[in-house]
Amino acid sequence: MPITKSAIKKQRVDKRRSAINEPIRGRVKAAIKIVRSKPSTETLAQFYAAIDRAVAKKLVSKRTAARMKARVVKATKIKLTKSPFGKN
């Protein structure tokens, strides 16, 4: 049990943050499973959206996200003619 006031507050804040962060992490994991089981450009776009959302919330660093994207694309062997976000 925390003793100091700051430790008590930190525990409250951590509980609140984890309640927000867990669903985002869950969406990323689910997106990885979906894109690996049914590889298509639509599922890949959903995976990219989930990863980018996690980066925006600072749950995953940009470099880690780039590595995850590269590994998933390489594993599923999807050759994209267009980028899933419209940039090309």
Q: Say which residue the tokens 């309640």 belong to.
A: 19
User: Is residue 86 a part of any domain in this protein?
Assistant: no
Confidence bin at 27 (pLDDT 50/70/90): very high
User: Is residue 33 a part of any domain in this protein?
Assistant: yes
13 pLDDT higher than 60:
yes
**How many residues are listed for the chain in this entry?**
88
Range of the domain at 18: 5-76
- Under a CB-based contact definition with an 8 Å cutoff, are residues 20 and 13 in contact? no
CA dist., res. 46 & res. 42, Å (int): 6
How confident is the model over 50-75, as a mean pLDDT? Answer: 93
| pLDDT for the residue 78 | 65
User: Is residue 88 a part of any domain in this protein?
Assistant: no
Q: How many domains does the chain have?
A: 1
First to last CA, the chain: 53
User: Is residue 30 a part of any domain in this protein?
Assistant: yes
| pLDDT for the residue 2 | 85
pLDDT in tens, 68-85: 999 998 888 765 555 666
